[in-house]
Amino acid sequence: MNRQQTIARTASLSGAGVHSGKPARLTVRPAEEGAGVRFVRTDVTDRDAVIPALVTKVTTTELGTNMSNEAGVSVATVEHFLAACSGLGVDNIIAELDGPELPILDGSSRPFVDLLKQAGLQQQGAPRRMLKILKPVEVRHGAKFVRLSPGKGFEMRVIIDFPTKAIGRQEIRFVMAPGAFARDVAWARTFGFVHQAERLHAMGKGLGASMDNTIVVEGDAILNPGGLQADDEFVRHKLLDVIGDLFLAGGPIEGLYEGEQPGHALNNQLLRAVFADATSFAWT
């Protein structure tokens, strides 16, 4: 996979945003070599509505990764879609959206993987640009930390630790390889806690959340009638989020990522810390 990829044709899906609750239609279109991933708000006509999927465009990271451009046009909860792009090796794509937030769908990346496969992958002529990590870069916040270190390929190690017996301490190691994301990660759903619901609603968040798109935890119990798809679905979803967040580097990463209780904010800070130190990386 040393050549850039786009998609072969246009494809669409629709759904509501997990936080806004507002419906939106996502249409993906092929993009030229070197274009990267670009979100376009088709419902905004009076300003520049293009938002490049880059770490510098991230404006908020509470409950998701959200981006804005210089004109103040935003797009929310991008991480599940970007994880699918990363996992399938899609470098260049136009993602048109007629609402403020990407659809949550089933709470995983699987519908986005299916959408991209429906559109077909198209290899391009230009070589793929890789972000090679040259020395360790780490960000800490209390007991939480994230780190990128030199390594071959793209390997991730993620640990989460929650006091509820429904989750507990979980760890996963993953190497990005053809087919691995769709097989091992894409289907893992997002999760939330009943005790947080009132606070989220008061903030105008979680308005589109339901057991159709979220694993719901109350105390030590999982409330979803179907339960989990795997005992470690929680940490697999956290890994999914990491993959989506790191795709905002602007190209695939060659290195080792380690995260202890990672989150969107720490992942964003980590990429910014890498780019702030020119001796820590090289584009190859």
Active site residues: 264
- Look up tokens 């797009």; give the residue: 75
For residue 50, CA distances in Å to 45, 53, 84, 133 come to 11, 10, 20, 29
What tokens does 152 get?
């071959």
Round to whole Å and give the CA distance between 218 and 19: 20
- Neighbour count for residue 33 (Cβ, 10 Å): 15
Instruction: Judge whether 7 and 90 are in contact, CB under 8 Å.
Output: yes
Q: Are strands 154-161 and 66-68 parallel, antiparallel or unpaired?
A: unpaired
Per-residue tokens: 172: 């996963």
| Amino acid present at 133 | I
Q: How far is CA 56 from the centre of its chain?
A: 15
C-alpha 119: how far from chain center:
20
Yes or no: say if 6 and 93 are a contact pair by the CB < 8 Å rule.
yes
Task: Please tell me whether residue 94 adopts helix, strand or coil conformation.
Answer: strand
Distance of CA 142 to the CA centre of its chain: 24
